[in-house]
Amino acid sequence: MDLPYLKFFGLKEEPFSTVPSPRYFFLTSVHSTALEKTAYVVGAKKGLSVVFGDTGTGKSSLARLLHQKFLDQGIVSVLLTNPSYPTPNSLLRTIAQEFGTTRTDKSFKGMLDIFKGFLIEQALQQGKTVVLIIDEAQTLRPPLLELLRQLINYETNDTKLLQLVLFAQDELRNTLARPRQDNFRSRVVMASTLEHLSLEELRAMIRFRWEVASGGRQHPFTDDAVAVIFEQSAGMPREANILADNSLLLAYYANSPKISGEYVNQAVSDRRANLSRKEAA
């Protein structure tokens, strides 16, 4: 899509799109630590790792990045972005299908055997690492968690046959804290939490995104503008991107090549006014 401000600011693409694109993902220290921890658990075939984070902190982006990284390394990886299936049977069938198993069976037990056979064949005959990445894992109800627990139980003498990486909002932390979930919780080898960005990290993210979108140019945000974006977004990446994008549009309408804190403040009040109007309706 050709946006009006692209030419004005010398951009090739939209710099602050909220699509979780790996190309626009800036590896902050928090994100790279989470990436390293999960890659370690998978590489060492230790089983289960979980990445927690509030809404808009970069979970889906990181999940895609990790999936791509695994594929590039020749790891057999599947990314499920919407796991809220009605039954364990339907989740299992989807998982098996996504991994490309050709055989099916009418019974749940039969499907479990087929999937286990697939894992054994991949691991023992082909020497492959198999990983399942699940985004939005806070939507997994207890019967689905129980299925996943069963799947990560398949093992050889010293390694797990299936590596599982969950990306989830805090609700999953609460679910796992219940006594009934002791079994699942105790299998988590590494857990990470995506914290909000610091001012420095946010500044670096804006610089990075602008460089990608413009082919290396400097961004037009003043220090003051970056500080207001930080304050108003509380360092939450999605909110920060939305504010940066809205400020960009306001500066364009005002024919201003620099983006000062005033434009950000205006974007904040516009957004507040319109969102609360919607809520009131």
Residue ranges in contact with ligand ATP by CB under 6 A: 18, 20, 24-26, 28, 31, 53, 55-61, 169, 205, 237-238, 241
Q: Which is nearer to ligand ATP, 153 or 198 (CB)?
A: 198
Interface ranges with Mg ion (CB under 5 A): 59-60
Largest CA distance in the chain: 67
Q: Which does 175 bind (CB under 5 to 8 A by kind): Mg ion, ligand ATP, none?
A: none
Q: Which does 205 bind (CB under 5 to 8 A by kind): Mg ion, ligand ATP, none?
A: ligand ATP
Q: Which does 241 bind (CB under 5 to 8 A by kind): Mg ion, ligand ATP, none?
A: ligand ATP
Q: Which does 67 bind (CB under 5 to 8 A by kind): ligand ATP, Mg ion, none?
A: none
Q: Which is nearer to ligand ATP, 61 or 247 (CB)?
A: 61
- Give all strands (DSSP E) within 18-153, no chain letters: 48-53, 76-80, 130-134
Least distance between ligand ATP and beta carbon 59 (Å): 3
Closest-by-Cβ residue to ligand ATP is 58
Amino acid at site 120: I
Q: Which is nearer to ligand ATP, 123 or 133 (CB)?
A: 133
Q: Which does 230 bind (CB under 5 to 8 A by kind): ligand ATP, Mg ion, none?
A: none
Least distance between ligand ATP and beta carbon 247 (Å): 16
Least distance between ligand ATP and beta carbon 21 (Å): 6
Least distance between ligand ATP and beta carbon 94 (Å): 20
Q: Which does 265 bind (CB under 5 to 8 A by kind): ligand ATP, Mg ion, none?
A: none
Distances (CA, A) of 249 to 24, 28, 36, 256, 258: 19, 26, 37, 10, 12
Q: 26, 144, 23: which is closest to 80 by C-alpha?
A: 144
Least distance between Mg ion and beta carbon 166 (Å): 12
DSSP string for 187-244: TEEEEEEEPPPPHHHHHHHHHHHHHHHHTSPPP-B-HHHHHHHHHHHTT-HHHHHHHH
Least distance between Mg ion and beta carbon 53 (Å): 9
151's tokens: 């799947």
Write down the number of H helices and E strands in the chain. 12, 5
Q: Which does 25 bind (CB under 5 to 8 A by kind): Mg ion, ligand ATP, none?
A: ligand ATP
Torsion angle, alpha carbons of 230, 231, 234, 240, to 10:
-40
Q: Which is nearer to Mg ion, 60 or 129 (CB)?
A: 60
Least distance between ligand ATP and beta carbon 109 (Å): 34
Q: How far apart are CA 238 and CA 244, in angstroms?
A: 10
Q: Checking DSSP bridges between strand 48-53 and strand 188-194, what pairing results, if any?
A: parallel
Name the region of 121 (left: φ>0; alpha: ψ -120 to 50; beta: rest).
alpha
Q: Which is nearer to ligand ATP, 23 or 109 (CB)?
A: 23
